């Protein structure tokens, strides 16, 4: 499939990502290369169709397909670098999301999950493809303002045969989306430029631009049902910045902060850029502040003993603190 993307990119004179999208669309549309005004030529069409047939003969699981997609996109990122906020969320972190969501949801069979900064959809796909729930009881929602990234997400989710509804819009605008059980996100770091739009947000600052990740956090939890959860990747120092006062006000009034899991420093180029997985829960009849917030420093994700001990501790904490 990699050769097919490069071949089509050269033939069309387009970006890697546009060639990736068209290749997967061709594969999903009868495994036939699309020809418009004689492009691509017959030789390229034959080459592409042969690659599509080879791929169709492989018996791949949803997770194996997702890994194929991921490898292709990583190849594209090396050729055509993207913004730091558009990088793929590593699988190791995605699997942590899966474990935490499974533990928190207590084997609930019908689960709706939203990612309001879905990008290429790798984190959402990792969660949906690996949660142990009936396939017909799992639905995803994704929102992104970047049309190319959303198109990548769309073809990926279709190939994986995941039930996902995507919205092309600014995630901080009102959304036509029903409440979900869990919101997830690898929150993009930076400032949101439209100060007027965010005045109604509790995390907004009176002067200057507000942190985009604070706004997306509040917005995401608005679309989570009562007692539902938010599981987010965000800066470890989110309670220590110059805008921490606003987020603490929001925490006191709207949600419960239930867990903070600091990730290994080795995952980040600088210690100051370190991130944590943070779990929030909306107020509701089936929710209460944990007697003890789960705080863990996951110093390694390569040491099996450390990871297994973390899983054991999280399970014990959940059983003692979450309804």
User: For the chain, what are the domain ranges?
Assistant: 2-59, 84-321
Q: What pLDDT sits at residue 82?
A: 59
pLDDT above 70 for 86 = no
Q: What pLDDT sits at residue 133?
A: 65
Q: What pLDDT sits at residue 281?
A: 97
Mean pLDDT (whole number) for 289-299: 94
**196 touches 177 (CB < 8 A):** no
Choose the weakest-confidence range: 36-40, 126-130, 173-177.
Answer: 36-40
Choose the weakest-confidence range: 49-63, 110-124, 145-159, 228-242.
Answer: 49-63
Q: What is the mean pLDDT of the chain?
A: 89
Question: Cα separation of 193 and 92, whole Å?
Answer: 32
Q: What is the pTM of this model?
A: 0.91
Q: What pLDDT sits at residue 83?
A: 60
Q: What pLDDT sits at residue 108?
A: 83
181-197 residue pLDDT tens: 999 999 988 899 988 88
The domain 84-321 is classified under which CATH number: 3.20.20.70, 3.30.950.10, 3.20.19.10, 3.40.50.150?
3.40.50.150
pLDDT classification of 136: cutoffs 50, 70, 90: low
Q: What pLDDT sits at residue 323?
A: 77
pLDDT above 90 for 127 = yes
Choose the weakest-confidence range: 112-121, 127-136, 272-281.
Answer: 127-136
pLDDT above 60 for 134 = no
């Amino acid at each position: 499939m990699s050769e097919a993307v490069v071949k089509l990119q050269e033939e069309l004179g387009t970006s890697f990502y546009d060639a990736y999208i068209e290749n997967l669309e061709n594969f999903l549309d009868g495994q036939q290369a699309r020809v418009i005004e004689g492009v691509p030529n017959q030789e390229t069409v034959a080459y592409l169709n042969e690659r599509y047939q080879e791929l169709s003969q492989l018996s791949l699981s949803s997770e194996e397909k997702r890994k194929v997609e991921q490898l292709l996109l990583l190849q594209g990122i090396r050729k055509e670098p993207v913004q730091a906020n558009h990088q793929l969320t590593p699988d190791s972190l995605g699997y942590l999301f899966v474990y935490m969501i499974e533990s928190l949801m207590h084997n609930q069979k019908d689960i709706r999950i939203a990612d309001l900064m879905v990008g290429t959809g790798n984190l959402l796909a990792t969660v949906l493809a690996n949660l142990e729930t009936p396939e017909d009881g799992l639905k995803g929602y994704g929102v992104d303002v970047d049309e190319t990234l959303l198109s990548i997400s769309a073809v990926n989710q279709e190939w994986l045969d995941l039930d996902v509804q995507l919205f092309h819009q600014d995630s901080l605008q009102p959304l036509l989306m029903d409440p979900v059980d869990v919101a997830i996100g690898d929150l993009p770091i930076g400032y949101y430029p439209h100060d007027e739009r965010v005045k109604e947000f509790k995390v907004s600052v009176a002067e200057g631009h507000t942190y985009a990740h604070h706004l997306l956090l509040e917005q995401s939890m608005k679309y989570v049902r009562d007692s539902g959860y938010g599981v987010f990747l965000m800066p470890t120092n989110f309670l220590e910045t110059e805008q921490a006062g606003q987020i603490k006000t929001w925490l006191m009034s709207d949600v419960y902060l239930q867990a903070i899991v600091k990730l290994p420093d080795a995952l980040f180029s600088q210690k100051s850029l370190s991130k944590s997985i943070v779990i929030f829960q909306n107020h509701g009849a089936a929710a209460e502040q944990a007697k003890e917030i789960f705080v863990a420093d996951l110093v390694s994700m390569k040491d099996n003993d450390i990871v297994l001990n973390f899983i054991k501790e999280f399970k014990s904490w959940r059983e003692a603190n979450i309804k």
